[in-house]
Amino acid sequence: MPTFAAPDGTELAYHVRGEGAPLVVLPGGPMRASAYLGDLGGLAVRRRLVLLDLRGTGDSAVPADPATYRCDRLVDDVEALRAHMGLAHMDLLGHSAGGSLAMLYAARYPERVGRLVLVTATPWALGMPATGADRLAAARLRKGEPWFEEAFSKFEAWATGAGDFDPALAPFFYGRWDEVAREHEARADKQFNDEATDVYGSEGAYDPPATRAALTRLAQPVLVLAGELDGGPRPDLARRAAEVFPNAEFAVQPGAGHYPWLDDPEWFVRRTVAFLDKDGAPLPSAD
């Protein structure tokens, strides 16, 4: 397991899967160990995935200063990883909360970004959070599911701030609540750093006007990929985020939730590779 030193001396780990041109992957959560990403549905067959364990998660060390868990301060860790790998620039993928970290990195170091992929990324960095109404609208799309009636009232309480998150809500985050999704969810508790989660988006983490201004000048290609059934972000919110970038593609993966590489790995890999590689596979239909 390779490691490198962050600017403040914290030892950070990353995991390499696959062969080919590197794709640096920033996990979400926020502050969830990168193990949950797996090989991104088989994307490692086409790209060498470099999955960063953010400080205090997975195999990375806990920092001396917990304030460094804040999203904007993690940008320096991403840049240190690029320098450690000796890359003049790098393709970058951010999932979920990691999408905001990827956006902050691109805003600060545009010349270091090759291509940028934002997967089901709630655009907090742009001042565009998913609302309770967004999440409820997406949840209601699942009304025909056998688990819906029992889980929806708990989901409604959580989405409106009237209740805490309950494990029974997990099916709403997956396009298919099958054995693969159940196993993925079962590992979640051990993969989070709860203290770091609370700090990640704390006061001062984001400056949306400055970030939006910087990203409107980003010339590099961007793919914003949303899940049809995801509530955070819903496709319309992800589309509005894509409009910030001057050179963006927008795609909605049919039947997908917040982890689209689990719901339809083939669709996810084909669409992502088609964006990353000019000679990639033909684009799948979004119909």
DSSP string, 108-129: H-GGGEEEEEEES---GGGT-P
Look at residue 282 in the predicted model and tell me its pLDDT: 41
HSE-up of 38 (CA within 13 Å, CB side)?
A: 18
Look at residue 261 in the predicted model and tell me its pLDDT: 98
pLDDT in tens, 73-119: 999 999 999 999 999 999 999 999 999 999 999 999 999 999 999 99
Range 188-201 average pLDDT? 96
pTM metric for this prediction: 0.95
Angle at 189 (CA atoms; ends 153, 35), nearest 5 degrees: 120
pLDDT in tens, 201-234: 999 999 999 999 999 999 999 999 999 999 999 9
Range 232-244 average pLDDT? 98
Q: What is the mean pLDDT of the chain?
A: 95
**Band (285; pLDDT cuts 50, 70, 90):** very low
User: To the nearest 10°, the Cα dihedral for 36, 243, 105, 69?
Assistant: -50
**Band (280; pLDDT cuts 50, 70, 90):** very low
pLDDT at 283 over 50: no
pLDDT in tens, 247-278: 999 999 999 999 999 999 999 999 999 999 96
3-state secondary structure of 63: coil
Q: How far is CA 168 from the centre of its chain?
A: 22
Look at residue 287 in the predicted model and tell me its pLDDT: 34
